[in-house]
Every structure is written in C-alpha cells, then in structure tokens.
Structure 1
Amino acid sequence: MKILTTKELILSAIFAAMTCVLALIAIPLPFTPVPITLHVMGVAMAGATLGKKLGFISQGVYMLLGAIGLPVFSGGRGGIGVILGPTGGYIIGFVIGAFVIGFLVENLSRYANGKKSEFFILFFSMIVGLAVIYIIGALQLKAVLGLTTPQAIASGVTPFIASDFVKVSLGAFVAYYVRNGLKKSNLMPSNNKVAA
C-alpha cells in the first residue's frame, strides 16, 4: 500500500476540516430528524478536488473524528451513537459519495474540452454522489426508525433536493477554480487525473 505524501495528507486534512466546519451550520426541521446542513457541499468538493482516494480518506477522517466523540457532526454532535442512529447513514454516505464523485471526475475528465464541459462533468459527478448519499442515508433512516420506503424518502430525501441542488451547483463552481489553482501551483494530488 502506497504511503500518502505530506501534500496528500495536508489536502485530506484540509477537506476533512472543511466538512467539520460546514457540519456546524445545521437547520433542524420539525418533520424529520435530518437537518439541513452544508455537509454535501464539502463532501462534493472533496471528491471532485482530491479524487476518489483522497476524497474517501478526507471524509473517512471526518467520520472517524466524529466517531471518537469530537463534536463535528451536524449540530455539534459526536460519538458512535450518531453513526448508528437515524442520520448515521448520511455520514457513511459522505465517505462513499466522495469516492464515487472522485471516481467519476477522474474517469470522465478525458472528455472535457473546455470550461463548460468540465463544469458539467463536475456537476454530473456530484449529482451522482448526492444520489449515493441519499440512498445510504434513507436506507438507514428506514431501518432505524422502522419507516416504509416512501416515508424514508419523504423525510430523508425530498425536503433536501432543492437546497442540495444549489449546494452542488456552488460546489462544482468552487471546485473548478480550486482544482485549477492547485494545478497551477503544482499542488494537485498525484492520484487525481482530473484535467484542468
């Protein structure tokens, strides 16, 4: 197994920290245990910027920090109980979603032939990653609370689609410029094959 370089460790830590900060901005909703947060934007940017390997690692570090009790989950919560609770599937989904986004961006980037097409690849990859997060999150919500599939979708997916669409759009825009800045500064992770 290849050891991470110092640059890769630092970039992974930065994106894990960014997700921690974005998680603290949480708006509870009265009809669901799932709050509105900015998590998704951090997860999407981690996968798109760092690629599948470091995106996965950055969000894995985020989940691990919360699992050991640090208050990095939504609303300043922490502990393994959160991961095992109704909303824990979304946290697990962040790790897998970042990997999926990074995988898609790395493999679709060969088709990019300009700013618009690269933005579309980022956006499309983030939407697929968001779907992965929704599926894993809704499955655990359903299992823990004993909901039906329609109930899990109604409380764990539908209320967030519009706001998450905005977050993903903004995330794709920011990730485009961050990636290009890293590329020009020779800081792009070596495992990330995304063209800039």
Structure 2
Amino acid sequence: MNRKTDISRISRIAMFSAIISICAIISLPLPITPVPISLATLGVMTAGAVLGPVDGVFSAAVYILLGVAGLPVFGGMKSGPSVIAGPTGGFIIGYLVMAFICGSMPKIFKKNNIKIFEGVAIQTISMAVANILLYLFGSFWFKVYAKTSLFGAFVACVVPFLIGDAVKIAFSAVIVVKLERILKRKRTNA
C-alpha cells in the first residue's frame, strides 16, 4: 500500500467511527430494560458493509476505544469502562462481530458466485445474521450481569428491539447498495 491509500483508508475508518458515535448518541431509554433503543447498530452495520470486515471492525473498535477513554459516545452520552462492564457491554463489544459479519458475508456470497441473493437481499440477510449474533452475545452478557434467566434476558434485550432493528436493517441495506453503486461509478469514471 502507498501513503495515499493508507491516508484514505484511515480517513474512512475514522469517518465511520464518527458516524457510529453520532448514531449511538441518538438513543431512547426504555422503562422496561436498561438497554436503550439506539441507532448505533445502523452505523455499525453500514460501516461493516461499506468498509469490509477488517476496516469495519477497526471502525467499531475505534468507536469503543473512544467511549472507554471517556468521550461520551455510548447510548445516552455515557462513557468509560463502566459502560462496557454494565448491562449494555455485551452489545457494545458485539459490534465488532456485527461489523465483521456485515462486511464478510456479502463477500463470501460474491466469491462463491451465489447469485440467489444479490444487492439489497444479500445485505439484508447479512445484517439479519449479524443482529441475531448481537442479540445472542448481548443477551448472554445481560443474563450474567443481571443474574437473570436466559428467557428474562431475551425479553429485556431482544423483544423490545425487533421491529426497530428490522427497520434499521432495511434502511442500512438500501443505503449500502446505493453507496456501492455510487462508488462503483466513481471508480469507473476515475
């Protein structure tokens, strides 16, 4: 890689870390669970799908490190290691897996020439799988943290978020496909 490529790559990672931070700040606390509704997953899914698995994970990692270091980028403008150790920590750490899945699954489908799922469909499937893994990771973390049953964690950490996450998946999938087309045109014209 050359210096120009490195600067461009670092800039994209930083930009998506900022996007995730802004999305995470946009949150709505719920009275039934300590896990707020947040747009963070929208930012993480989009980062993974646009940047790819490695840079998407780097982008999510920078976001997490900024929050742990004290910048108020977590839901509700919270920050610090206590947030990671708290009830939402499993979800926040799970963003690394989410970004990886959203970046790698479409590449696997394309590499293996699986044409059943293309465009918005492949992005939607990838993001749905990533959300399921995030639910599992976050719910298990919450179960251990809150000393509750797996069912109790599921009710607190999954059920209230299903509809909103479906909307975020659809929105992110459409954004990613449109961005891919724009970037492909830009590369062709360059």
TM-score (norm 1): 0.89
Q: Which residue of 2 aligns with 1:21?
A: 22
Q: Which residue of 1 aligns with 2:31?
A: 30
Measured after TM superposition, the shift of residue 117 of structure 1 is: 2.2
Q: Which residue of 1 aligns with 2:144?
A: 143
Q: Which residue of 2 aligns with 1:192?
A: none
- How is 1:34-183 mapped onto 2 (pairs within 5 angstroms)? 34-110=35-111, 111=113, 117-183=118-184
For the residue of structure 2 that corresponds to 1:78, the secondary structure is coil
Measured after TM superposition, the shift of residue 82 of structure 1 is: 0.2
Higher helix share: 2
Measured after TM superposition, the shift of residue 171 of structure 1 is: 0.3
Whole-angstrom distance in 1 between the partners of 2:187 and 2:17:
21
Q: Which amino acid aligns with 1:50?
A: L
Segments of structure 1 that go 5 or more residues without pairing to the other structure are 188-196
For the residue of structure 1 that corresponds to 2:28, the secondary structure is strand
Measured after TM superposition, the shift of residue 48 of structure 1 is: 0.8
Whole-angstrom distance in 1 between the partners of 2:114 and 2:42:
22
**Structure 1, residues 52-87: CA drift from partner, whole Å, max 9, x if none?**
001100001000000101000001000011011110
Whole-angstrom distance in 2 between the partners of 1:186 and 1:8:
15
Larger RCO (CA under 8 A, 6+ residues apart): 1
Whole-angstrom distance in 2 between the partners of 1:161 and 1:129:
13
Runs of 4+ in 1 over 3 A off after TM superposition: 110-114
C-alpha RMSD of matched pairs (Å) = 2.0
Contact 1:27 1:37 in 2 (8 A): yes
Measured after TM superposition, the shift of residue 136 of structure 1 is: 1.0
TM-score (norm 2): 0.91
Whole-angstrom distance in 2 between the partners of 1:181 and 1:65:
30
**Structure 1, residues 127-154: CA drift from partner, whole Å, max 9, x if none?**
0111111111111111111010000000
Q: Which residue of 2 aligns with 1:193?
A: none
Whole-angstrom distance in 1 between the partners of 2:66 and 2:114:
36
Contact 2:109 2:115 in 1 (8 A): no
For the residue of structure 1 that corresponds to 2:35, the secondary structure is strand
Contact 2:24 2:73 in 1 (8 A): yes
Q: Which amino acid aligns with 1:159?
A: P
For the residue of structure 1 that corresponds to 2:119, the secondary structure is helix
Decide which moves more: 105-114 or 8-17: 105-114
Segments of structure 2 that go 5 or more residues without pairing to the other structure are none
For the residue of structure 2 that corresponds to 1:34, the secondary structure is strand
Whole-angstrom distance in 2 between the partners of 1:94 and 1:109:
23
